[in-house]
Amino acid sequence: MISQSNGFATPHDWAGRYYHIDQILDASGPRTDPAFSAGDEVKDFLRNKAKILVIGAGGLGCEILANLALTGFKDIHVIDMDTIDISNLNRQFLFRQKDVGKPKAIVAAEFIMKRVPGVTVTPYFGKIQDKDEDYYMQFNLIICGLDSVEARRWINATLVNMVDGENPESLKPLIDGGTEGFKGQARVILPTITSCYECSLDMLNKQTAFPICTIANTPRLPEHCIEWASVLEWPRVHGEKKMDTDDPEHITWLYQTASKRAKEFNIEGVTWSLTQGVVKNIIPAIASTNAIIAASCCNEAFKIATSSAAYLNNYFMLIGTDGVYSYTFEHEKRADCPVCGGEAVDMSISSELPVEGLIDLLVEKQDIQIKKPSLSTANKQIYLQAPPQLEAATRPNLSKKVSELVPPGGEITVTASTLPFSLSLRITYT
Of the candidates 324, 346, 321, the one whose C-alpha atom is nearest the C-alpha of residue 335 is 346
CA distances from 297 to 64, 100, 364 (A): 7, 27, 30
Instruction: Write down the CATH number for the domain with range 345-429.
Output: 3.10.290.20
For residue 7, pLDDT beyond 80: no
Answer CATH for 212-280 from 1.10.3470.10, 2.60.40.10, 3.40.50.720, 1.10.10.520: 1.10.10.520
377 burial type by CB count under 10 A (0-12 exposed, 13-18 middle, 19+ buried): middle
For residue 9, pLDDT beyond 70: no
Question: Is the domain covering 18-205+286-329 a CATH 3.40.50.2300 domain?
Answer: no
pLDDT (0 to 100) of residue 371:
79
pLDDT (0 to 100) of residue 207:
56
327 residue type, one letter: Y
d(CA 71, CA 301): 10
pLDDT (0 to 100) of residue 10:
47
Q: Which residues pair with 376 in a beta bridge?
A: 381, 413
d(CA 78, CA 97): 21
Of the candidates 283, 282, 419, 426, the one whose C-alpha atom is nearest the C-alpha of residue 363 is 419
How much is the average pLDDT of 201-226? 77
Distance of CA 89 to the CA centre of its chain: 21
- The per-residue pLDDT for range 74-131, each reduced to its tens digit, is 999 999 999 998 888 888 999 999 999 999 999 999 999 999 999 999 999 999 999 9
| Residues marked as catalytic | 213
Reduce the DSSP state of residue 281 to 3 states and report it. Answer: coil
Q: Which residues, at least 6 apart from 213, have a Cβ–Cβ distance to it below 8 Å?
A: none
Reduce the DSSP state of residue 398 to 3 states and report it. Answer: helix
Query: What's the mean per-residue pLDDT of the chain?
Result: 87
Q: Which residues, at least 6 apart from 234, have a Cβ–Cβ distance to it below 8 Å?
A: 243, 253, 254
For residue 11, pLDDT beyond 50: no
Domain boundaries, the chain: 18-205+286-329, 212-280, 345-429
CA distances from 181 to 59, 79, 83, 430 (A): 12, 24, 22, 42
Of the candidates 163, 179, 183, 181, the one whose C-alpha atom is nearest the C-alpha of residue 171 is 163
Listed in sequence order, the DSSP H helices in 116-200 are: 133-137, 149-162
